[in-house]
Amino acid sequence: MFPFVFVDFHTKFFYNEERLCSRGTLSAGHFVKGVIMENKREKLSSRLGFIFLSAGCAIGLGNIWRFPYMVGKYGGGAFVLVYLFFLVLLGLPIIVMEYSVGRGSGKSVARSFHVLEKPGQLWHRFSYVAMAGNYLLVMFYTTISGWMLAYFAKMISGEFNGLDPQEVKHVFASLQQNPQASLFWMLLIVAIGCGVCALGLQNGVEKITKGMMGLLLAVMILLVVKSLSLDGAMKGVSFYLIPDFDELMKNGIFNAIYAAMGQAFFTLSIGMGGMAIFGSYIGKDRSLLGESLNVCILDTCVAFIAGLIIFPSCFSFNVAADSGPGLVFVTLPNVFNAMSGGRLWGFLFFLFMSFAAVTTIIAVFENIVAFAMDSGWSRKKAVRVNFILILLLSLPCAFGFNLLSFIEPLGDGSTIQDLEDFIVSNNMLPLGSLMYLLFCTFRYGWGWKNFTDEANSGVGFQFPMWARFYVSYILPVVVIYIFFQGYIEKFAKPWNILIPSVLLLLMIYVPLQAWRKKRANNKNT
C-alpha cells in the first residue's frame, strides 16, 4: 500500500490540533504531547551538504545527454546565452518558492501544503499529485540508472575492447532486451538508494552525496583535461563555445527559445517537491535566493562541462554528438574504443555518469521516505516498505524493453518508459511549478508576504519585491506555454490541445476553490 494513503487522516488530525492550539481551544501542553514525535525532524549538518544534495537532485542524465546536443544544434555559445537568460527568469524563482514552502512548513510535500494553507482550503490535494509524481519518476529512472552501472562494469571488464561500431550498438540493444540483466541492475540501484536512506539523513544521505558529488566534479575535470588534449579537440571547443547566431536563426529563433526555456525549466526538476524536502532540513540563517542561485550555478556548470567532454572527443574522431541514450551508450563507447587508453577513460566517464544518476536516485528516494516519515512512520519502516514498493513499480519499465515491449503507449516504437517520462516531464513538472507559483503569490494561498518573509529570512541575497508582478502574472503564463507546447510537439493530433486543457483546468480548480472558501468564510464572519 502506498505510504501516502495514510497521510490524509494523519495530517487532518494534527492539522486540526494545530489550528485549535493557535486559536486557544487546545492547550499547548496537549498539542505538544500529541505531536512531539512528529516534530522530531532531522537536519542537515552543513550548508555544503544542502547545496550538494539539492544539486545532486537537479543534476541528472539530461544534463549530459540533452544539453550539449541542444547547444550544438542551436548555435553553440548563442544558445548558452539564451539558456542562462531563461534559467534566471524561469528556474530560479520557482526553486526559491519550493525551498520556501519546505522550510516554512518544516515538512516534505506530503504535508507542507497542509501546514501552510488556511483553514478550509484545498491546496493540500496537490500533495498527492506531487507524491505520485516522485514515484513515477523513480519507476523509470531506476532502470536508466541501472544501465549506467552496467556500462561501468562493462568498461572495467574490457567488454568493448576490439568491438566495431555495430557490435557496440548491439551491446546496448542486448542489455535492454535481456530481462534478467535489466532486473538485476535495476534491483541494485533500488538497493543502493534505499540503503543510503536507511543510514539516516546526516550519516547516510548527506555524507554519501557529498562524497559522490566531490568525486563527480573531480572525475569531470580529469575527463575535460583528457578531452581537450585530443587532436582536433579545439574544433569541437569552437563549435561548442563560439556563438553562431546564423545557426541559431537557421533552426528557427522560436524553436531555439522554446528549447532554451524547456531546458532551463526541466533541468532543475522543480514542481514535485524534490527541492522542498531539502528546504525543510535547513535553518533560517541564510536567505533562499542565494542558496537557489548556488544550486543553479552548480547544475549549469555540470551541464556545461559535460559539453567540454563530449564535443572535443566527438570532433577528434569525426563522430556526430547525438542526443539521448544513443550518445551515452553507443556514440561515446565507440569514441573510447578509438582513443588511446580508452578503457580507462571510458571507466572514468561511466563512473561520472553513475554518480550523476545515483545522487539523483538518493535525493528522490529521500523525498519519498520523508513522505512516510511525515505521516508518522519511522525511517526504517519507511525504507523497508518503499524498497518493496519501488522495486515493484519499477518492473514495468525494466521489462518494457523486452517482455513488455509489445506495449507501445505513445505510438509505434514507444515504450513504457516513454509514457512515464512524458507524464512526469511534460505534465507533473510544469503543472506542479504552476501550483507553487499560485500558492506563493495568490492571496488565497500562502500569499506573497508569507513567501517573501520566509525566502528573505537570514543573510544573503533578498528576493526582490519588484518581481511580484512578474512571478504572479507573467511567469505562470510562460509555464502554461511550456506545458501546452510539450503536447503540441509530442502529438500531431487534433486533440493535442484537449488533454492538456482538461489537466490545466483541474489544476486551476484548487486555487479557485481556495478563493471560494475564503470568500464564504469572510461572509460568515
CATH code, domain with 434? 1.10.4160.10
Map grid coordinates 512516510 to a residue.
372
Buried b / exposed e across 376-411, counting CB within 10 Å, b at 16+?
bbebeebbebbbebbbebbbbbbbbbbeeeeeeeee
In a domain, 176, yes or no: yes
303 located within any domain: yes
Flag whether 301 is in a domain: yes
Residue 334, pLDDT score = 87
d(CA 290, CA 92): 10
Instruction: Say how many C-beta atoms besides its own lie within 10 A of residue 1's C-beta.
Output: 7
pLDDT recorded at residue 454: 96
- Residue 99: inside a domain: yes
Instruction: Give me the pLDDT at residue 36, please.
Output: 37
Domain count, the chain: 1
Q: Residue 236 and residue 465: Cα distance in Å, rounded?
A: 43
For residue 316, how far is the Cα from the chain centroid? 33
CB-CB contact of 279 with 288 (8 Å)? yes
What range defines the domain where residue 445 resides? 3-15+45-403+410-524
Residue 32: inside a domain: no
> Computed from CA positions of residues 280, 283, 286, 291, in that sequence, does the dihedral angle turn out positive or negative?
negative
Asked, for residue 203, whether it belongs to a domain, the answer is yes
So what's the pLDDT on residue 497?
60
- Cell of residue 446, nine digits: 500562502
Position 27 in a domain: no
pLDDT digits (tens, 9 = 90+) for 440-477: 999 889 999 999 999 999 999 999 999 999 999 999 98
Q: Which long-range contacts (CB under 8 A, 24 or more apart) does 79-84 make?
A: 79/248, 79/256, 79/259, 79/260, 80/241, 80/243, 80/304, 81/243, 82/248, 82/256, 82/257, 82/260, 83/260, 83/263, 83/264, 84/300
Per-residue pLDDT, 31: 36
Residue 495 pLDDT: 54
Cell of 392: 515493484
pLDDT of residue 292: 94
pLDDT value of residue 34: 36
Q: Which amino acid is at 297?
A: I
Q: Specify the pLDDT at position 190.
A: 97
pLDDT reported for residue 323: 63
Q: What is the predicted pLDDT for the residue at 25?
A: 37
| Dist. CA 9–CA 140, nearest whole Å | 30
340, part of any domain: yes
Per-residue confidence of the chain (525 residues) as pLDDT tens digits? Answer: 334 333 433 433 333 434 334 333 333 333 333 333 344 678 888 888 888 888 888 887 777 777 877 887 787 788 888 889 989 999 999 999 999 999 999 999 999 999 999 888 889 999 999 999 999 999 999 999 999 999 999 999 989 888 888 898 899 999 999 999 999 999 999 999 999 999 999 999 999 999 999 998 899 899 999 999 998 889 888 888 888 777 777 777 878 888 888 888 788 888 898 899 999 999 999 999 999 999 999 888 888 888 888 888 888 888 777 667 778 888 888 888 888 888 899 999 999 889 989 999 999 999 999 999 988 899 999 999 999 999 999 999 999 999 999 999 888 888 999 999 888 888 889 989 999 999 999 988 999 999 999 999 999 999 999 999 999 999 998 898 888 887 877 776 555 566 666 666 665 666 666 667 767 776 776
CA-CA distance, 269 to 433, in Å (whole number)?
A: 10
Instruction: Write down the pLDDT at residue 262.
Output: 82
